[in-house]
Each structure stands twice: as structure tokens, then as C-alpha cells.
Structure 1
């Protein structure tokens, strides 16, 4: 954590307001067109307040990428709690991811722009997902809920599926229920595509 981490609940709320404002500003206008003033206006805080929490636009952007990753992971974790097995967790997790994408449509622009603006933050965003995924898949294989296999390749394949299904059915169009999309994807995961 940064040395500028809030030390009080009020400070954390102000930092979160800045991150929420940054999500809107970067999501709508992109990194290069957004100024620190745009963020502070949206957050309804003084320009000087920004510098209490962040040193630069680059720093808040990187913090936002990490923050959005934490938000997604927490959102999914809450919704997969109580899953009966790994396949059920995959289904619930995919539904949750699509629903998150629908509620936070700026996610894609911010994360994809990070690929060029902050490549290390972009890579770390996906690596954090992959680490948790690998652990969960390995534990599920040990419990006999899924077959043994290369957990790294499986983790990245499942992440890729989620990302693109979230883009297609969370951002580009919401005409199909998330449950229906997840059911089709989970059928492919659990049954394969062989005749």
C-alpha cells in the first residue's frame, strides 16, 4: 500500500470517492483526455485533496486498476459462496462477472487502456485472478470435483472465456439473461464440444 494510505474511515471514504470519480472520468473520456481536475470535480473535492491520496494521474489510474480488480473478485466471491462444487462455482462466477460488467461498463475501457498506459498494472490485474483460479481449481481436483489437469492453462482459459462473455453479454448487449449465457458456457466446460 502507498505511504498515502488513509489512516481514518473518513479518509478511506474520500479516497474511495476519488476512485469512483476516476472510474467515471477514465471510463468515459480515457486516460489521456482526463485531468486531475476532472476527477476532483466529479468527486466534489478540492484539487489539493487529491494530492493527500495520490501523487499523479498515473498513480490514481494504477490504483483504480487494482481497485477494480478487487471489486470484481469480491463481487464474484460473494456470489459463489455456498456453491455445491467447482462446476456450480464456475456457473455462479460467470453469472456474477457478466452482471458486474453490466453494472460497471467502464471496467473494459479502463482495463484495456491499462494495457498501454500501465502495462504492469494490466498484467498484475489478470495475474491476481489467475493465482486465485489456479488455487481453486487445484483444490477442486483434489476433492474429485473436476479432473486433474494443468491448472494454469485451465485458469487462463476460464479467465479468457469470462472476459469475452462479459464483454459480449455485459457491455455490447444485454439481451440474454446472464444465467442463460452461463448455462451454455458451463455445458461446454463440463461436457466439451466433441460429439
Structure 2
């Protein structure tokens, strides 16, 4: 006799449904942009009903406002895993930039979700970017305490964090996305970080 299958809880089903809608929205935005992403297409791609959509999101705009934070949190987690327990800033950035490019290569939708959010979900974009910069600035301050980035005050490190964050985005979009190998872009990025971290 086969053991009875464990039934999923309501909370688990709810998490899975919401995740399915977020994933479907990311894929749809990645293909058609925010403007071309309709609720009907998102629900169809997710295999869920229109009624279920409104259990998780108030509107199309509400979905867009939640999309970037949800998708971006996965990238943040990936970068955090790669850059934790490293010996110095250069090693951390080397791992992080490679993980960043690999993540974008594995899911092309994330770049369009991020770039177009500035127009179609500006509050979510600004909050997400602010969160990224807070985290990055905190990492740079910790590295400064360990003897790196000595040329920069704590306030100036926020500028460094902004510059390096936006450089990752632009380097990928302008060079790495269309290149067979992005190693050379990663190497350049690491050289920039090293010059900033070791400057006397």
C-alpha cells in the first residue's frame, strides 16, 4: 500500500501561486516589456485563473511594484553567497561580478525588469536601488575598517557604491551580454575595484 501523499498547506499553496505569478510576470516583461505585459498573459503563463491573480495582487500596477523586489531578492541572495567569507575586497568583487553575469545569463528577463522599472514602477525601482546601495555601502565600510578604501570617507563610499553598482549594470548590457566571453569585462571591473581599494 502506497503511503498517503502529504497535502500541501494553504500557506504553501499560496506561496507557490504567488511565486508562479511573479515568475510568469518576469518572463513576460522580459519578452514584451512592462507595457506589453497583460494580466491575461501572466495568468495564462502561470497556469492560474484571473480570480487567483486578484488574491495576490490588487492590480497590474501592484504586480509591477512587487516584481522587481521579488526578482531582485534572488540576485541579492546570490551575490551575498558568493561574496561572503572572502579575504579582501578584490576577491569579493571578483566572485560577485562573475556571479552577477552568470545570473543574468541564466535569466535574460531580469535586466529588462530592472531597467524598465525606473519608468513603469518608479517607487519599486527607487526602493530596490536604495536597498542595494545600503547593502553595498555597508560592505565597503566594513572593508574600510579592514584597511581598504582608505582614500574615501564613509560618505564618499556611498558614491563609490553607486558608481560600482551602475557600472555592473552598464558593463553587462553594453559589453558582456553580446560577447561570447565576459571574462575580460569581469577582469576590468576587478581592476577598477582594486585601484579604488588599494589607493593610498
Q: TM-score range by the shorter chain?
A: 0.7 to 0.9
Q: Is the 8 Å Cα contact of residues 176 and 182 (structure 2) preserved in structure 1? A: no
Q: What TM-score do the two structures reach when normalised by structure 2? A: 0.86
Q: Is the 8 Å Cα contact of residues 93 and 193 (structure 2) preserved in structure 1? A: no
CA distance in structure 2 between the partners assigned to 1:34 and 1:189 by the alignment? 38
CA distance in structure 2 between the partners assigned to 1:129 and 1:27 by the alignment? 21
Q: Shift in Å at residue 187 of structure 1? A: 1.4
Give the one of 73, 76, 101 matched to 1:73.
76
CA distance in structure 1 between the partners assigned to 2:94 and 2:137 by the alignment? 17
CA distance in structure 1 between the partners assigned to 2:187 and 2:86 by the alignment? 15
Which residue is 2:185 aligned to?
181
Q: 1:170 to 1:45 in 2, by over 3 A?
A: farther
Give the one of 132, 138, 142 matched to 1:139.
142
CA distance in structure 1 between the partners assigned to 2:82 and 2:179 by the alignment? 20
Matches within 5 A, 1:16-35: 16-35=19-38
Q: What TM-score do the two structures reach when normalised by structure 1? A: 0.88
Which residue is 2:195 aligned to?
191
CA deviation string 1:126-171 (max 9, x = no partner): 1111000111100110111332511111100110111112223443
Q: Is the 8 Å Cα contact of residues 28 and 42 (structure 2) preserved in structure 1? A: yes
Which residue is 1:119 aligned to?
122
Q: Shift in Å at residue 104 of structure 1? A: 1.9
Q: Give the gaps of 5 or more residues in structure 1.
A: 1-5
Q: Shift in Å at residue 102 of structure 1? A: 1.0
Q: Shift in Å at residue 37 of structure 1? A: 0.9
Which residue is 1:151 aligned to?
157
Q: Is the 8 Å Cα contact of residues 76 and 96 (structure 1) preserved in structure 2? A: yes
Q: Shift in Å at residue 51 of structure 1? A: 0.8
CA deviation string 1:110-131 (max 9, x = no partner): 2221111121111112111100
Q: 1:49 to 1:21 in 2, by over 3 A?
A: same
